[in-house]
Chains A and B, each alone.
Chain A
Amino acid sequence: MTKKILLIDDDKDMCSTLKDVLKLDTQFEVEYTISPLDALDKIKETNYDLIVVDYKMPEMNGIELLEHIKKMNKTVIVIMLTAFLSNELIEKAQKAGAKKVLSKFIWPNEISKQIADILK
């Protein structure tokens, strides 16, 4: 069965390019949304295998969204993407239940590889 991935980032271009990168490198089914609130609706309806969450978003930040997601689905794997990686953020994200915290500024195929490894 094809694994389902949801991307959440307020930058539409980030979402679309990352979706295309994942589609290119993997066989995963990828969806995206630029609104955290919309994301929560989607999570209610669909059972995603992995969710990629951006940290800095206008409606709520990635940590808050992560906490909401974990309340709704404890087992879902969540990866946090951030433009500015810090130890403090990694600690916060992992405490909230993130499987991994990745920098946005890594090779695109590296993101695909990391996600594929997690979903093996």
Chain B
Amino acid sequence: MIRIYTKIISLRITFNKVYAKKIGIGLSAVLPVLLVLLVCWPNPVSTASKKNKTITFAGNDKFPPYSYLADSSPTGFFVDITKLIASESDLDIRIKLMPWDKCLSGLRTGKIDVLIGAPFDEKSKKFMSFSVPIHELNFSIFVNMDNYHVNSLSSLEGAVVAVRRWSPIVSNVDKHKSIKFVKTGSILEALEKLQNRDVTAIIVERNTALYYISKYRIDDIKMVQGTISTPYKYTFSVKPDNEDLLAILNSGIELIKETDTLEILRRRWLGIPNSRHFPWKIVIVSTALLSGLMLLIAGVLWVIFLNATIKIKTQQIKDMHQKMVEKDKLAVLGKLSGQIAHELRTPLSIIHNSIYLLEAEGAEDKDIFKKRLTVLEDKVKLCSNILESILSYSRIKAEIAAPISLKECMEEVLHDLDLSEKIQTKVTFSDKYLLTVFMDYRQLYSVLRNLMLNSIQAMNNEGKLTISVGPSDNNRTITIRLVDTGPGIAGSVRNKIFNLFYSSNITGTGLGLPISRSIIEANNGQLYLEETSQSGSCFIIKLPSSKNKK
């Protein structure tokens, strides 16, 4: 506002200087006269600025969306611009909309001070002065929907074409002599002529035609793509002698162009964004924020989804593991049952046979009777041993753990085995330490017996069994080493021999080694097969020394 006032004042000074030169009188001599003149001069600007004279603006009443009457009230893009400039320039204005020819005559007669939306035209400069452009308008060709021939101005040669009277396009298209132009009072009238097929095409301001097509839902008219010529500049225009008012209008136009107000109006009425003022920063920042927010939401959702998935999968794994454990238990149980049955049936069938024979033979022949009883006793013992082996597997943890002298236990095993002369045994004990372990005597006995029997079987009842017992790991453990001169254990089965029911010997139960290992491990020891470069096998038992037990 202040800027506009400043300009107004400067313009008035300029104007007064020019005026003084024109009358050719020295400033000093005519100063009093000038002062009187300045006060009394019928200047609309000065009066307007003081708000004691209303400036009349007039525009085309049939030029939507730029200027038109809505419920008898002037409205439109140009009308809003006018109001805005008047407000910014503190002008008291009146807006009238009427047919354009009346607007022109009104300006000529002085009834109207300013024309709203006057197309700039060099030829008209002698009749009126134009402001800086407020908007540029494009003209397009419109044809009937079924017209596929018209695609440019030149394709209209020989055709009848309607244009609006007073439209700036008239002077442009008039040079096409072969086109017969029909001039109408308004764009709506031109559209009606086209609809009625009185004309082949119309050349009119694009947005106005589209406004009518949309408003009246005209579906049988289409626009030929592309503009007919360069855009036309639309301005405010005043009488040539009203340069002051023009200066105020120009200042107002420049002012609203500098702000976003013009663009807001442009978008509101025409939907045309201004690339220069397009708020890229806001769009970019908004997009970035929105993207970030979406990513955050997506991330949170992803985490929730992952958590849920992990929970489900974990439960599935647990269930699967439980099933596998159950399945494994059942498989072991099934295999174990089969093995027990198999191992027990042979001695039981012998017992059965012996009882059958005893019943038949009686006790008359004492030798035979005794022989039957011996067989019975042996087989009952065998059955008992088998059951004991199986039970020892199920209750591996010793119930009666006590310090055991390895020497004593070893000697008892060897004594009980009652080995033939073909089996040589060499047992050595380190005499530096008291070699005792803390475990169940029966369990240690069964492990040693089992390993020795395996070796004897492997040597086919002929060979040498070397056993050495001594401290290891700084006296924390005791190592028992059993080496035989048998064929050894093939590399392919070395890692299988401790598996339950695996037996390389067809008469083996496949229980001895896994049970022995389980017993030793239950006593915090180790039982393994040591690789040797020599033939034969070497089993190692490592047990904690009883000194480490409290």
Point out residues on A near B: beta carbons under 8 Å. 10-11, 13-14, 16-18, 20-21, 24, 56-58, 61, 83-84, 103-105, 107-109
Contacts and interface: CB of A to CB of B under 8 A. Distances in A.
- 9 closest Cβ contacts across the A-B interface? A17-B353, A83-B345, A104-B349, A108-B356, A84-B342, A105-B345, A108-B353, A58-B506, A83-B346
B299 interface: no
A57 to B, nearest CB: 6
Contacts of A103: 345
B348 interface: yes
B350 A11 contact: yes
A107 B360 CA distance: 14
A83 B360 contact: no
The prevalent SS among residues of B at the interface is helix
Given A83-B342, A104-B345, A17 B375 contact: yes
Contact of A20 (B341, B357, B378, B506): B357
A58 B353 contact: no
B311 interface: no
Contact of A14 (B350, B356, B505): B350
Nearest to B352: A108
A84 B342 CA distance: 5
Given A13-B375, A108-B352, 6 more contacts: A17-B357, A18-B353, A20-B353, A24-B360, A103-B345, A105-B349
A61 B503 CA distance: 14
Interface in B364-406: 375, 378-379
Contacts of B345: 83-84, 103-105
Given A13-B379, A84-B338, A84-B341, A21 B349 contact: no
The CB with the most chain A CB atoms within 10 A, among B338, B352, B353, is that of B353
A17 B348 contact: no
Contact of A109 (B356, B378, B505, B507): B356
Contacts of B360: 24
A61 B348 contact: no
A11 B346 contact: yes
A18 B505 CA distance: 25
Interface residues of B, number: 22
B354 interface: yes
17 contacts: A10-B507, A11-B346, A14-B346, A14-B350, A17-B353, A17-B357, A21-B353, A57-B506, A58-B507, A84-B341, A84-B342, A84-B345, A105-B348, A107-B356, A108-B352, A108-B353, A108-B357
A84 B336 CA distance: 13
Given A13-B378, A109-B356, A58 B505 contact: yes
Nearest to A104: B349
A11 B354 CA distance: 14
Contacts of B354: 17
A14 B507 contact: no
A56 B350 contact: no
Contacts of A108: 352-353, 356-357
Contacts of B357: 17, 20-21, 24, 108
Contacts of B349: 14, 83, 104-105
Contacts of A10: 507
B506 A13 contact: no
Contacts of B348: 105
The CB with the most chain A CB atoms within 10 A, among B343, B349, B352, B507, is that of B349
Contacts of A105: 345, 348-349, 352
Nearest to A24: B360
B336 to A, nearest CB: 13
A21 B349 CA distance: 12
Nearest to A16: B375
The CB with the most chain B CB atoms within 10 A, among A13, A24, A57, A107, is that of A13
A9 to B, nearest CB: 8
Contacts of B353: 14, 17-18, 20-21, 108
Nearest to B361: A24
Interface string B111-144: 0000000000000000000000000000000000
Contacts of B379: 13
Interface string B325-353: 00000000000001001110110111011
Nearest to A9: B346
A18 to B, nearest CB: 6
Contacts of B507: 10, 56-58
B506 A56 contact: yes
B506 A17 contact: no
A84 B348 CA distance: 13
B278 to A, nearest CB: 85
Nearest to A83: B345
A82 to B, nearest CB: 9
Nearest to B354: A17
Nearest to A54: B346
Contacts of A56: 342, 506-507
A14 B352 CA distance: 10
Contact of B352 (A61, A83, A107): A107
B456 to A, nearest CB: 14
Interface in B77-132: none
Contacts of B343: 83
Nearest to B344: A83
A11 B343 CA distance: 12
A34 to B, nearest CB: 11
Contacts of A84: 338, 341-342, 345
